[in-house]
Amino acid sequence: MTQAPVILDDCDVRRLDTAQIDGLLRYGRLESCRDVLEEYLEQVHFRQMKSLMLRLYVGMDVYIAARRVTSDFGIPAEQFVSRFGSIDEISGKLQTIDSTTEYLHTLIEQCIRWRIESATENGNDLVKKAKSYMDANYMNEDISLKTTAEYVGLSPTYLSALFKREMKRNFTEYLTEIRIRKAKELLCSTSKLICEIAYEVGFRDYRYFSQIFKKQTGQTPRKFQADVNICPDNQTTA
């Protein structure tokens, strides 16, 4: 038997999708955020919500999403609460449909402003910090966007967007560049086996390393090494 939708005050609360709010906060434009939020509210029939409980349900969802996202780009909890109240205090701002709507619009707009300011003021510094971490840990097999984001204190999604904006390439592309650059240095200055060098710079699969190296340089590791006149007698791996 199909379960009927949960409907209160003619509003289907199953339609709530906080992923849309998350996307609006992370990537939305200030000039269009009001229209986007109105579309979200229309999806849940917000204008028909006579119940304070339902307005709280929607308001809490947006508030929690906003706090989570602003935390990702460095807004302290104290600053957020000072501006919008604690989660226990916001019911006073949601007493009517109009007051709730205005509160949510103000919340979204300010969070987007914080995001823009944070990206402008701190984006380059945060990417520099991420790059320093990658330079120090490129040889570790488990280095990833997630571990790097944790180190700099951002969400993986936000760091990925910030990194691409500042570096004009994505995280994986930059990590590969570091590894290939380090491999070239070792091929030029040591007599290590190519498979040893592959492992040392973070590749656990020698064949994959060779493929990536050739894609990046136009040469196989052996050819590159031969061209710089370092081709040890005991080098047996192509």
The secondary structure of 170-226 as a DSSP string is -HHHHHHHHHHHHHHHHHHH----HHHHHHHTT-S-HHHHHHHHHHHHSS-HHHHHH
The predicted-structure confidence for 155-181, as pLDDT tens digits, reads as follows 788 789 888 988 999 999 999 999 999
Residues 6 or more apart from 33 whose CB is under 8 A from it? 24, 105, 108, 109, 112
SS3 159: helix
**What integer pLDDT is reported at residue 52 of this predicted model?**
86
**What integer pLDDT is reported at residue 229 of this predicted model?**
62
Q: Hey, what are 165's tokens?
A: 């904006």
Predicted TM-score of the model (pTM)? 0.54
**Residues 96, 47: Cα–Cα separation, whole Å:** 10
**What integer pLDDT is reported at residue 2 of this predicted model?**
43
**What integer pLDDT is reported at residue 3 of this predicted model?**
43
The predicted-structure confidence for 181-194, as pLDDT tens digits, reads as follows 999 999 998 888 99
**What integer pLDDT is reported at residue 234 of this predicted model?**
41
Burial of 29 (0-12, 13-18, 19+ CB in 10 A): exposed
- Of the candidates 237, 232, 201, which has an alpha carbon nearest to the alpha carbon of residue 216? 201
Q: Please give the helix or strand (H or E) that residue 8 lies within, else none.
A: strand 7-8
**Residues 172, 174: Cα–Cα separation, whole Å:** 5
Per-residue confidence in pLDDT tens, the chain, 238 aa:
444 444 444 455 556 678 889 989 988 888 899 999 999 888 888 888 888 888 888 899 999 999 999 998 788 899 999 999 998 898 888 999 999 999 999 999 999 988 887 766 667 788 899 999 999 999 998 999 999 988 887 778 878 988 898 899 999 999 999 999 999 999 998 888 999 999 999 999 989 999 999 999 999 999 998 887 644 444 444 4
